[in-house]
Structure 1
């Protein structure tokens, strides 16, 4: 939803690169958008803040929480982010929109939508109600078994993933996206579209000038955190500090 036709066309062009995203409507003002959302429920809304008749925040206030879709704000204004996240927005993207940033946000939306459809509320959803406790690593005829508690972080490597355990690397023939659905959300969290980290391995976190962040693991390994995942990571780290 955006009152600028050029801005809407740019978003639509980006969405065509993601064929699993199906458009159910587009609107040029807040009142029309509200009617459209209430009459045609959807999983995800890409929403501007300043629109005629009803702004983005007012629109969300009119939708009951149980009927509210996931929301990614697309705006030229950087001073509304706190309020947006207070309303549990999935993401907040500044215009002009960066293509990689947009793709990262849709990745996060896919995970959140999958979680909702499976009755969960975590970034790392479950698969068939089971968490991965061990990994089987094949090297020729040899199979090595690794406990998930020994995995410090995981990075994407094409269609595979690399497990990092005590300064050793193990190639796992599974994608990072598939792993994210099977890992225990109490232990692991997404830090980047290409990185998953074990929460209790995070020693410190530092903000970066571009609104991303840098975390350092207990063994000194530095990892970048994309701004898409910062809020959720901070919340989970805070929860762990309260429990410990």
Structure 2
């Protein structure tokens, strides 16, 4: 894992020391080095480093001026390196991961670099996990063709059936039969789940055993006692269940003939 680092430091000696210490760890790669606020703004937005070692007081402003002007898509982890101890509280208001006070021991600097590794690793893991999650969601979303079709596997072959070609679904144990005009297929789905999946489509459940395609109905006749006779486009006739009478009235909007 390579971690990109930028330096914003106006003192040559201080900058040289930071570079020397960073280069002792091959994980880090210095991608930019500047001495002032304006240069820092340009460099950070262009390089977008993982970590920036930032001085507080510079000739043309402060490290806080840099951070307050960075756009939201440029958010490196910040380590303040300064000789001033009265800015520590303000530094952490800018989400700094550490505040190194000059002069400092090498061991103190290396503790900071280890912390920086942990922060960058966590961020990258979070990004990767989000990318995986987004990819899985995209894969779970059906394509337009899948929305308009069902897939049935028969004898090792996948058969795709357009919903408009389906006359009805008929209960068949724990599965159902998908009836077309001249044949049927066994579909490994329950009627209960099917009814839910088809709720926003041109289908209606008329019986515990039947879900019919409204677009393939030739005629509907009320035959009494809360029952209707449906004639499909292939001349098949079905009698509805009494418990479905109100649904049939609502969805078909027919005039009841007695």
Structure holding more strand per residue: 2
